[in-house]
Amino acid sequence: MSIKENIRIAIFSIKTNMMRSLLTMLGIIIGVASVIAVITVGDGGRDYIVGMIRDMGNSAIALTVNTRIASDDDYFTDNDITAIKKLDGVDYASMQVISMAQMTVNDETGFLIGIGCNTDMQMIMQSPCLYGRFFTEEEYNENKYVCVIDATSAYSAFGRKDVVGESIHCTINGVTVPIKIIGVVNVMSVMNLDTEDLAASMSSMGGAQIMSCMVLFPAGVANEINGVKGKYDTINITAKDENLLDGIGASAINYIRSLHGNFDKDCYTVTNMATYIDLLDTVINVFTIFITAVSAISLVVGGIGVMNIMLVSITERTREIGIRKSLGAKTGTILFQFLTESVILCLIGGTIGLLLGVASAALVSYIMNVPLAVKFSTVAIAIGFSSAIGIIFGVYPAKRAAKMPPIEALRRD
């Protein structure tokens, strides 16, 4: 009997017992749908998160001071940054100074979260201004009271994003001074929330509305707020080639140690963003595989259902088997017939499960606002799983049918 004839007989048998076939396929449908949905959402989420971090600076490293063991002379200085920028392979370098102060916007009081940096920070962040511009080298050197505000903060404080020309009044050394907004940038866009939603979450705390703004301004302004002069605990560096990151990090630390004469202290740390990207990629992959394995348990249950229904089908078609064997049908022909029916049953269930899985993944991706990643390997997994279940759980019933003696089969009612 040809393969085409076997497929025709299998489809006819499935149509004859449509309700029973659908109930049998249900386990396969649920199992495949679960596996496909998990894999698709996992791949999409991994690609999005890893890509987002890579876009933030896959060629970036951070040098930090261990504040617990460092003395005042061990902290980074402007001279250190100037020296680091001259090293081979270094593209940009900027200090990062976190400062907090009380602020007033339109007679409303809140908190200012400032990041002190130099003009290289814009290139390190790889985030151009939505409105206005970044502060210039001259403004940085003169410690001008200017800032670039985060778009979400702008919306939270002013009710709109384009706030270039507005001012934030900040208390520095007991004196309230205006800090002019010269640019707007998406500092917090990596959180992937709408500006309005994020503004609401930023400003609410314990049910009370608290206005807060995140800004970037010259490091000298941050130092004035913190009450220090030219001392930094973090330097961000980007490399011209991400493959040189580790070497540049080691060279920078050794150079700083030679400048500060503190080789005997282990007070500096180099953090490679690429290392975190690889680690995050691995963690997400392991988590996805684990969830997929749990979801695949339902496939085993579905396979047991297929084997059970095939045994019932063989019992119902005993006389058919006897007649075919008495007319000369070989054992292999009978085995292949029922194995084909089992595989087709699982393939139909697998196809339906694939469509449901992709649809579920699309819905989850839409809700989570992450890209949908349907890969060829995912489709191959669905088809492969379905075929494997059909073969594994169809072999025993098919063998039982094939080995049935013709005379015994013809005697059955």
In this predicted model, what pLDDT tens digit does every residue of 309-355 receive, in sequence order? 777 777 766 777 777 767 676 777 777 777 787 788 888 888 888 88
For the chain, the 3-state helix, strand and coil shares in percent, each to the nearest 5, are 60, 20, 20
Cα–Cα distance for residue pair 87/229, rounded to 1 Å: 25
Report which of residues 77 and 205 the model is more confident about: 77
Residue 100 — pLDDT band, cuts 50, 70, 90? confident
Alpha helices (H) in 61-218, listed in sequence order? 78-85, 121-125, 137-141, 151-158, 195-203
Cα–Cα distance for residue pair 69/53, rounded to 1 Å: 30
What lies within 8 Å, CB to CB, of 88 at 6+ separation is none
Cβ proximity of 270 and 253 under 8 Å = yes
In this predicted model, what pLDDT tens digit does every residue of 245-278 receive, in sequence order? 778 888 888 889 998 988 888 888 888 766 666 6
> Which of 312, 313, 335 has the alpha carbon at shortest distance from 324?
335
HEC states along 267-284?
Answer: CEEEEEHHHHHHHHHHHH
Strand pairing category for 234-239 and 60-65: antiparallel
> Which of 61, 39, 40, 43 has the alpha carbon at shortest distance from 51?
43
With H, G, I as helix, E, B as strand and everything else as coil, classify residue 27.
helix
Cα–Cα distance for residue pair 186/129, rounded to 1 Å: 7
Name the residue type at position 172: I
In this predicted model, what pLDDT tens digit does every residue of 122-147 receive, in sequence order? 888 877 889 999 999 999 999 999 99
Mean pLDDT score of the chain: 78
Cα–Cα distance for residue pair 245/272, rounded to 1 Å: 7
With H, G, I as helix, E, B as strand and everything else as coil, classify residue 359.
helix
207 φ/ψ angles, rounded to the nearest 5 degrees? 90, -15
Report pTM.
0.53
